């Protein structure tokens, strides 16, 4: 029985000490999963996260040092998202993959929109911007995805899904799947 664990980190809970424990078999870590939700400082502020962009790049350096596989979760098209913040996110993903190689598990890369929950600031913002109405049923998932960035992020997700499917097809074609 393998007792290795997957760690899921929020905000600023990841430290060098946690990784160091895994190197000494005191806490065998199979994979690290981070949920910074954004990359740009502007978006961290909008999401009320206690992070800075530089923290994510420091995480890449630590992960490379300790050689533990990693995944990331990001929100897209949240309040304040623009082409500049989206670019910073894509740049981070590409640099992380280049620097970490096989340690950066793209199958664990999650890009999603924010879900609107009742009685939240996001619900108020969505009402103000006409994304939902007062009659909107929020018990079933409704996501914050305003125009015009909806078109950009939708095209991005479609492109990424198409590339992933093409890669899987090539693996099957080559017989390496």
Q: What confidence tens digit (pLDDT) does each residue in 96-134 have?
A: 999 999 999 876 677 888 999 999 999 999 999 999 999
CA dist 122 and 144 (Å) reads 8
Q: Which residues in 78-166 belong to E strands, given as ranges?
A: 110-112, 114-115, 143-144
Task: Decide: helix, strand or coil at residue 48.
Answer: coil
pLDDT per position as a tens digit, 34-81: 888 999 999 999 998 889 999 899 889 888 888 888 888 899 999 999
Task: Name the least confident of 16-25, 50-59, 132-141.
Answer: 16-25
**pLDDT averaged over every residue in the chain:** 83
Structure tokens at 159: 């492109």
Is the pLDDT at 1 greater than 50, yes or no? no
CB 18 within 8 Å of CB 7: yes
Please answer whether residues 68 and 104 qualify as being in contact, where contact means their C-beta atoms are separated by less than 8 angstroms.
Answer: no
Residue 47: strand, helix, or coil: helix
* Residue 161 reports pLDDT greater than 60: yes
Peptide bond into 148 cis (omega under 30): yes
pTM confidence score: 0.78
Of 25 and 50, more confident: 50
């Amino acid at each position: 029985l393998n007792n290795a664990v997957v760690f899921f980190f929020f905000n600023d809970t990841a430290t060098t000490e946690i990784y160091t424990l895994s190197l000494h078999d005191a806490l065998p870590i199979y994979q690290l999963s981070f949920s910074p939700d954004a990359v740009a400082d502007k978006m961290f502020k909008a999401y009320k996260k206690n992070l800075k962009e530089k923290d994510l790049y420091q995480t890449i350096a630590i992960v490379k040092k300790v050689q533990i596989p990693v995944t990331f979760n990001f929100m897209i098209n949240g309040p304040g998202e623009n082409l500049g913040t989206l670019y910073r996110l894509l740049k981070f993903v590409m640099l992380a993959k280049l620097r970490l190689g096989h340690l950066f598990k793209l199958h664990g890369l999650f890009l999603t929109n924010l879900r609107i929950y009742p009685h939240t600031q996001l619900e108020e913002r969505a009402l103000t911007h006409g994304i939902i109405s007062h009659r909107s049923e929020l018990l079933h998932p409704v996501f914050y995805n305003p125009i015009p960035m909806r078109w950009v992020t939708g095209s991005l997700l479609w492109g990424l899904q198409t590339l992933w499917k093409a890669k899987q097809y090539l693996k099957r074609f080559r017989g390496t799947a």
